Chains A and B, each alone.
Chain A
Amino acid sequence: MSSATGTTRRIEPLPLAGAEMRPLRDVWGETLVELAAEYPDLVVLDGDLANSTRADIFAAAVPDRFFEMGIAEQNMVGVAAGMATLGFVPWLSTFAAFMANRATDQVRIVVAQPHLNVKMCGGYTGILTGKTGKTHQSVEDIATFRAMPGVVTIAPADAVEMRSAMRAMMEIDGPMYLRVTRDPSPTIFPAGYRFEIGPGVLLREGSEVGLIGTGVQTVRVLEAADLLANEGIAASVLHLPTLKPIDADAIVALAERTGRIVTAEDHSIIGGLGSAVAEVLGERRPTPMRRVGLMDVYGESAPNDYLLEKYGISAGHVARAARELFVAG
Chain B
Amino acid sequence: MSAPVAVTRPSLDDLRRTSAEARKLIVQAIHHAGAGHLGGPLSATDLLTALYFDQMTIDPEQPEWAERDRFILSKGHSSIALYVQLALRGYFPVDELKTFDAAQSRLQGHPDMHALPGLEMSTGSLGQGLSPGAGMALGARLRGLSFRTWVMLGDGEIQEGQIWEAAFVAARYRLDNLTAILDYNGLPQFGWPEASGFTREVPIDDPGGKFRAFGWHVIECDGHDHASIREALDAARAFVGQPTCVVAHTIKGKGVSYMEGDFNWHAKVPSDDNLATALAELDAQIAAIDSGNGRPA
Interface residues of A (CB under 8 A from B): 43, 67, 69-70, 72, 74-86, 88, 105-106, 108-110, 113-115
Contacts and interface: CB of A to CB of B under 8 A. Distances in A.
B125 interface: yes
B120 A81 contact: no
Given A67-B138, A88-B142, A82 B125 contact: no
Contact of B120 (A83, A85, A113): A85
B239 to A, nearest CB: 21
Contact of A78 (B113, B131, B145, B168): B131
Contact of A86 (B113, B130, B133, B139): B139
A109 B112 CA distance: 10
Contacts of A70: 165, 168-169, 172
Contacts of B140: 86
Contacts of A83: 135-136, 138-139, 142
Contact of B162 (A43, A85, A106, A115): A106
A110 B132 contact: yes
B42 interface: no
Contacts of B166: 75, 78-79
A82 B168 CA distance: 16
Contacts of A115: 114
A323 B145 CA distance: 63
A115 B115 CA distance: 12
Given A74-B161, A75-B165, A109 B122 contact: yes
A85 to B, nearest CB: 6
B143 A82 contact: no
The 10 closest A-B pairs by CB, nearest first: A82-B135, A78-B131, A82-B132, A75-B165, A72-B165, A79-B135, A86-B139, A82-B136, A83-B135, A83-B139
Contacts of A81: 121, 131-132, 135
17 contacts: A70-B169, A80-B135, A82-B132, A82-B135, A82-B137, A83-B135, A83-B136, A85-B113, A85-B120, A85-B139, A86-B143, A88-B139, A88-B142, A106-B128, A110-B128, A114-B113, A115-B114
Chain B interface mostly helix, strand, loop or mixed? helix
A74 B124 contact: no
A67 B134 CA distance: 12
B177 interface: no
Contacts of B143: 86
Nearest to B122: A114
B296 to A, nearest CB: 35
B124 A109 contact: yes
Contacts of A72: 162, 165, 168-169
A42 to B, nearest CB: 12
A77 B166 CA distance: 11
Contacts of A76: 131
Interface residues of B, number: 35
Contacts of B137: 82
Interface string B171-206: 011000000000000000000000000000000000
B123 interface: yes
A307 to B, nearest CB: 33
Contacts of B172: 70
Nearest to B120: A85
A144 to B, nearest CB: 16
A69 B169 contact: yes
Given A72-B169, A114-B113, A78 B123 contact: no
Contacts of B139: 82-83, 85-86, 88
A96 B118 CA distance: 34
A2 B237 CA distance: 69
A113 B122 contact: yes
A86 B139 CA distance: 7
Contact of B131 (A43, A79, A113, A114): A79
A126 B122 CA distance: 32
B125 A78 contact: no
B134, B168, B169 pick with most chain A CB within 10 angstroms: B169
Given A86-B139, A86-B140, A78 B122 contact: no
Contacts of A113: 112, 122
B121 A79 contact: no
Given A78-B131, A78-B134, A79-B131, A85 B121 contact: yes
A74 B123 CA distance: 14
